[in-house]
Amino acid sequence: MTALIRTESATLTALAPTGTFAAPLMLILGLVFLVSGLAHAQQPNILLIVADDVGYSDLGAYGGEMRTPNLDQLAQTGLQFTNFHAAATCGPTRAMLMSGLHPHEVGLGSFGTRLAGAPELHGLPGYRGSMDEDVTLVSELIDAAGYDTYMVGKWHIGDGASNPAARGFDRSFSLMDGGASHYADATGVYLGTATYTENGERVAELPPDFFSTAFYTDTLIEYLEADRDSDRPFFAYLGYTAPHWPLHAPDEWLARTRGRYDPGWDEIRAQRIARMQELGLLAAEHTRYDSPSIPAWDELSDLARRVEARRMEVYAAMVENMDYHIGRLLETLDNLGERDNTVILFLSDNGPEGLELIEGDRIYWIPSTFDNRYENMGRPGSHIMAGRGWAQASATPLRLYKRFPTEGGLRVPAFVHHGAFARQGERNGELITAMDLAVTMVELAGLDSAGDDTVRNMRGHSLLPFLDGARENAVDGERTHGWEMFSHRALNSGDWKITWIWTPAGEGAWQLYDLSSDPAETIDLAERYPERLQTMIELWEQYAEETDVVALDRDVSGYSSWQLVHE
């Protein structure tokens, strides 16, 4: 797709230069909107909520046992996506949301810290690990449209010139890293101290009662209440770090999930499958993916089952706590009289986390640094993950999880909610991506996207005509999207998909799946349809060439081989 951003009186490229010319550009953009006569009061507020590592079937609205009434109500009364795709890891998805482009196109195909296995990728355009400075972000365009703009939570697309304060947000409190302790100690996920900034300035110390989900929500509520008398609409980007590892939850929330996961991941997956079928999210003939690297629950020792169940209890407590705080935010919008004029977009940034803690030097520094005794799991001083057994359960019925461009790593819960939209209480199963949300948010702010081959263009499609009822389908025709993460690769084209997944044995090969009958990617059709496979491989190669993708014939993440997948 080619796209420009238009006002009534002028056409502005969606990807204009920033950096030295950023301030003059933003001034010009602002003047253009004033001259065009844009009526701010007619533009809705935009609330973008991004969860961190929530699996496809975790929420109640997607068949999960987790108690998420606020998110369920929004999903079920709004437009619920059942085939929404993010990137396979968090930073690249955020790059897609903020740029409307493939992550490699803006320098965020991966992060340098996770390319230990591929020094030849360091410094290449698609793998610099931070947002290109010459890409104008959605936040900058919306800010220029006359919105009050706020960013709270995980940023993870670059520091310095890519800080939220330099990228169109009037106020911000941001975790710049990919993750951290959810408590006040601010311990990074790879040790060290996590970097937080407030309005672009480094935060020296977090308040002693800091808990990430509560603090981020409180901060955004403060921003909204402080500007309650503003005559401008707002754009708020709330990037929760829940339930990203290390898994932490307040004691009262840990108590709520106690014992729930004692039946184990096999039984939880079976229960989810049954609920998904009842909800109409999964056909009776569709099977689930079963990883040979995950043991049956009954094969574990009593001690292993006890510890594993506790890990998922903490994870679920984090998700339910996040839902509670989203409820507080919705109540604030009601009290401010802004709920009916607020478009809410929600998504998870990728599939669930499948790594384990015993990886590299962690085998030494985890036990020497943290208190992971059973009684302290999820509490301050602990540092745990859910692990791949529960990650596969969270992704039910899909294949694998975060870091892999399989459906379990890419397909995530997502929805759009606004009472004024024609599409309410509906589901959509078309292939939608985070890039589509970028274009949709820009159009909601009053800009109109149109085609032009002379500019570097957003890749997404606006969903607004579909949401308003002006179109029968969300997107035109059969969509094709390519993916690459740590040299694992994939391409979706309509109902068909190809994947190339590295294995510890080094036996990566292209596989072909028909997602209409096999969304869990269990039946490889490569030998049955060699011509279709070859056509899709050529499409993937075209995608790679256009977007600065460089894929090697090995996993390049730097993780231990047994951490990834044994198939």
Residue 275, in any domain of the structure: yes
Q: Which residues contact 564 (CB under 8 A, 6 or more apart)?
A: 403, 502, 503, 504, 555, 557
| Alpha carbon distance 234, 212 (integer Å) | 23
Beta carbons of 108 and 131 less than 8 angstroms apart: yes
Our CA dihedral for 157, 163, 164, 167, rounded to 10 degrees, sits at -100
pLDDT at 566 over 50: no
Q: Do 277 and 322 fall within a single domain?
A: yes
Q: Do 371 and 463 fall within a single domain?
A: no
Q: Which residues contact 311 (CB under 8 A, 6 or more apart)?
A: 247, 377, 384, 385, 386, 387, 390
| Alpha carbon distance 275, 420 (integer Å) | 30
Helix or strand holding residue 492 (H, E): strand 488-493
Proportion of the chain above pLDDT 70, given as a percent: 87
Beta carbons of 318 and 249 less than 8 angstroms apart: yes
- The distance of Cα 457 from the centroid of its chain, to the nearest Å, equals 22
| Structure token pair of residue 184 | 């006040």
Our CA dihedral for 31, 32, 35, 36, rounded to 10 degrees, sits at -150
Which of 153-162, 262-271, 402-411, 517-526 comes out lowest in average pLDDT? 153-162
| Alpha carbon distance 564, 260 (integer Å) | 27
Into how many domains does the chain fold?
2
Q: Do 131 and 213 fall within a single domain?
A: yes
Give the mean pLDDT of 432-450: 88
Which residue in the list 90, 102, 286, 325 is annotated as catalytic?
90
Residue 531, in any domain of the structure: no
Beta carbons of 230 and 148 less than 8 angstroms apart: yes
| Alpha carbon distance 487, 502 (integer Å) | 8
Which residue in the list 156, 244, 418, 461 is annotated as catalytic?
156
Among 421, 438, 464, identify where a domain stops: 421
Which of 7, 8, 16 has its CA nearest to residue 454? 16
**What pLDDT score was predicted for residue 293?**
86
Omega of the bond leading into 69 within 30 degrees of 0 (cis): no
Give the mean pLDDT of 478-487: 93
Q: Which letter, b or e, does each residue of 476-488 get, where b requires 16 or more Cβ atoms within 10 Å of its Cβ?
A: eeebbbbbbbbbb
3-state secondary structure of 497: strand
**What pLDDT score was predicted for residue 16?**
37
| Structure token pair of residue 530 | 């060699």
Q: Across 350-457, where does the E strand assignment appear?
A: 414-417, 426-428, 432-433, 448-450
Q: Do 105 and 29 fall within a single domain?
A: no
| Alpha carbon distance 506, 556 (integer Å) | 12
Residue 557, in any domain of the structure: no
Residue 149, in any domain of the structure: yes
Q: Do 229 and 367 fall within a single domain?
A: yes
Q: Do 351 and 400 fall within a single domain?
A: yes
pLDDT at 563 over 60: no
| Alpha carbon distance 561, 356 (integer Å) | 12
Paired residues of 426 in beta bridges: 79
* Phi, psi for residue 101 in degrees, rounded to 5: -120, 165
Q: Do 393 and 305 fall within a single domain?
A: yes
pLDDT at 292 over 80: yes
Q: Do 52 and 77 fall within a single domain?
A: yes
Residue 71, in any domain of the structure: yes
pLDDT tier for residue 450 given thresholds of 50, 70 and 90: low
pLDDT at 5 over 70: no
pLDDT tier for residue 76 given thresholds of 50, 70 and 90: very high
Q: Do 364 and 461 fall within a single domain?
A: no
Paired residues of 488 in beta bridges: 485
Beta carbons of 235 and 148 less than 8 angstroms apart: yes
Give the mean pLDDT of 480-494: 95
Which of 198, 118, 158, 144 has its CA nearest to residue 22? 144
3-state secondary structure of 1: coil
Give the mean pLDDT of 301-306: 97
Residue 501, in any domain of the structure: no
Which of 30-39, 174-183, 465-474, 541-550 comes out lowest in average pLDDT? 30-39
Beta carbons of 7 and 442 less than 8 angstroms apart: no
Beta carbons of 522 and 453 less than 8 angstroms apart: no
pLDDT at 214 over 70: yes
**What pLDDT score was predicted for residue 359?**
60
Residue 416, in any domain of the structure: yes
* Phi, psi for residue 422 in degrees, rounded to 5: -70, -30
503-514 confidence digits (pLDDT tens): 765 567 999 999
Which of 40-54, 136-150, 352-366, 472-486 comes out lowest in average pLDDT? 352-366
pLDDT at 10 over 90: no
Which of 516, 536, 517 has its CA nearest to residue 526? 536
pLDDT at 423 over 80: yes
Q: Which residues contact 337 (CB under 8 A, 6 or more apart)?
A: none
**What pLDDT score was predicted for residue 366?**
83
Q: Do 323 and 393 fall within a single domain?
A: yes
Beta carbons of 98 and 459 less than 8 angstroms apart: no
Average pLDDT, the chain: 88
Beta carbons of 341 and 233 less than 8 angstroms apart: yes
Which of 138, 181, 144 has its CA nearest to residue 157? 138
**What pLDDT score was predicted for residue 555?**
77
3-state secondary structure of 182: coil
Give the mean pLDDT of 68-81: 98
| Residue range of the domain that includes 21 | 1-38+449-476
- Whether 90 is catalytic is yes
Which of 378, 429, 413, 350 has its CA nearest to residue 245? 378
- CATH number of domain containing 275: 3.40.720.10
R_g of the chain computed on alpha carbons: 22
- Whether 286 is catalytic is no
Q: Where are the alpha helices (DSSP H) in 160-238?
A: 212-226
Which of 110-124, 150-164, 223-237 comes out lowest in average pLDDT? 110-124
Q: Do 4 and 70 fall within a single domain?
A: no
Q: Do 160 and 32 fall within a single domain?
A: no
pLDDT at 175 over 80: yes
